[in-house]
Structure formats: structure tokens, C-alpha cells
Structure 1
């Protein structure tokens, strides 16, 4: 009697537990299902505020507080070079060189030359009528594919190499590795690959080439300490305008219209110095 009662109780409790488990399984809501998180898109105002906060946290250079205006810097260097009135003023422009940018380079014609120009030696890859026009314009070496081996062997030492478009693909496989590191390889972006070879040579006359190093630092002589203040300032402003355009710091509407806009390479520091004077950071550039 007691054994049957005990068995009935055990069966009843087991049935109750099974019913409870089934009821919990059927009625329990889904609490731990994976939910996709939606990331809110920041507005322009929020992005601008974030950029301002980030700029405030950037550590400033220790000499940022020593920047002075251009006219004051010229006066200081003139005072230091008082015994050498014909001292040279040198300008150093430091660029950031972010990833994907090329070494800054270009040509310009100074409003007033600070130092005599070095003689250009021009080599031109052209044939037929364009070769004759290049010779008449003043090119030193003119020829076709036969010049490739001479350039590789070092028989010619040109300072500028120009090429017509129809010969570019023929010379690139052999000369790319040789002339590329030297910055002499003809390029459409730089304008050294052109149909108007004679026009390019004429534009070169009276102009000088400038370029930076691998770190993006550009150095050039811009004036003499004995020059009038207006001439020094004109050369300074003109050179910086050319560098800003070449590094993408000014809008080039013509390039944007052609879809050839380039990544900007910001100018981080502009320093003016003399032969015996210190380097002075310029505030107004």
C-alpha cells in the first residue's frame, strides 16, 4: 500500500516537472536573441566639433610661440648680417608628405633672381618634324629610341628630359627604373610629355626648377639682404603661391574640371634664414 502510494507520488511529481518544463519552454519569451546595433551617423556639426577637440589635443611644437611676421624676420636677419650686406636669404618650406602624395616639384620664373641660373641641358625623345622643331628651339640632344641605351649608360647627363606621347610607352620599360629615382622620367602630370616640345623649351628659358627632398622639405634662395623690402616680400609671396598650388593647398579649378584633382600636402613650417643668421619661423604665410 505504501509502496504504491509512493510510486504514484513519484510519477505525479515527474509529470508535474515535465509539464512545467514544457510550459516554460513554450511560453518563455526570447530574451537573448542577437540584435543588430545601429550606429548613428554624425552630423557635420558633430564632425566639426570632434575635429576642433582633436586639434586642441595635438601637441604643439616647442618653437610655435617664436613665430614672427615676415617683415620683422627680415629686419632681424638684416641686423645680424650688417657686415655682409649681400648675404643670401634662404627659405625652407616643410610639407607634411601624407601617404599617397608625391615629392613637390615645379618650375617658376622669379620676379627678381637671387642667384644666377645654372645652364639647362635638355634631352628630347622625338622624331621627324617635332625633332627638327626641338633642335631649332634649343634642345641639346634630340633623337628617338636609339638614345635609350646612351641614357642608361650615362653618356648623356641632361637636367631635363622631354618626350612626345607616341614614344613614351617605348622608352618607359627601360628608362623608368633609371630616371624615376632621379626625377627625370618624362611625365604627363609634370608637362614633360607633350606634343608641343618647342613651346615647352621656350617656356623653360628664363625659368628655374625647384623640388623638395624625400621628406618633403623645399629649400631655395629667395633674395639678398641688401634688396628693398618690397622685392624680398614679392619673391617670398610668389614662391609660396607656386608651392601651395603644386602641393594642392590652393584650388585648381582647371584641374578639378578635368577630374585631375590631387591630394593636398599641407605646409607645416616656413623658415627664413641667412648665411650667418638663425632660422626664423614665419607666422604670416
Structure 2
């Protein structure tokens, strides 16, 4: 094979023959930069932690209402919302009650036999006898209200008294939560309270139209919520009792176009 076909040519010097690369020979480039470009780049999806951090950052930059950190009396809050909704007389007030209920409203009933079946049909979330006491003590079964039939109260009191008592949730005859008619109690409760807390323990309910007298409706609704969550005080003895586990942390009033205003006197 000739030197020309190999892409080489030669020249004469005084010391002999010197081989030179042809100026027309092809040059190959194998640098790391070019090789990296040829590789397909992998795209990594953000983790849940990164997405949560991004959402918190976005929320912190969001515009906040001037009423977020301010409390008002019910009358003053109504005046502000009426001014906002002056052109919308059919707008509706909404009451937002934030509680410490971590899993929403749940009714747990201690009953057996026919009473247990009736409690289930009435809408109880958990129904059982003394066998579920340990689950309540350990926290595997939690509720915002506990009911019990009279024949089981002595069986559950030794263990549950020290757990539910300090939180104001222990069934008692004085409160009416120890009764032979647990099904009737549940039906009355569900029939008079048309609301349910979400998983975060927040209760939302329409109260009245903007230009109606809503003070009476607000106070009546709150009395129902306090009773169902164990926050009802005994006004006769002026004894607030132990702090309930489902304590009310914030009460707000809002309207369709108005801000949420935290109430200070209800």
C-alpha cells in the first residue's frame, strides 16, 4: 500500500526521509465535553419535601388580608362585612370554627346487643363493648364524643376515667352521654347540627344573609358546636371544668366577597 493512500507524504532532507501527515487527513475529536453531549440527560422529579417547601415559600409571599392578625367583636365584624357586601344584599355570612379535632367529628359508643345495632344505624362511627377500651386508651380509637349505655359504664370507668376525664370526654349521666337511648341521642344531635368538621378539625357553616340579624344565629350555632365538642360550660356553677381535647382555637366570620374576621367576644 502506498504512503499516499495512508494519508502521508514524504520529503527529502539532508538526514534522510521524513514522513509528514497529509493536510487533507480527517481529524477525530474525542474530548469529554463532546461525549457528555451525546449522553441523554436524566431529569429528576422533585421530592415531596421539596414540593412542600416550595408551597410554603409561595404561601409566605401571597398577599395577606389586613384582618389576619386582628380580632373584632361580632357587631364590628358584621359592620365591616356589610360595608363590603353593600351591593350584594343576598350574600351569605359563613362561620368558621377551628377546633383541636385532628380527625373530624367521630362518635364512639360503648354498647352491646340491640343498643349497639341501633347506634350503628343511627350513624355512630365506632361501636363496641369493653373490648375496645384498650384501643381508646392507646389512642388507636379516637373520637370527639363518647356515649355509653348504663350497663357498661362501670366496666369502662376504671381505665377510661383517667384518660377521658381530664379531657372532658368521659361519658356521664349529668351530661346525658350515659343513656339507654344512645341511638336517639345520636339522631337528635345529627338532626339539630347540620355540620361536620373536616380532617383538620375546621367547621364551616352558612349562618344567615348579610342584611339579616345574624347575632342570634351565630350564638345559637356556637352553643351547639361547644356542646358537641365538649366546650359547653356549666353557667350555673360557673365551673369551666377541665380543658377539653377538642378545644375551640379560633372563630371567624366571613362573607362571599369579604375577608375572614376573627371574633373576640363569642
Pick the TM interval, shorter chain: 0.3 to 0.5
**TM-score normalized by the length of structure 2:** 0.46
**TM-score normalized by the length of structure 1:** 0.44
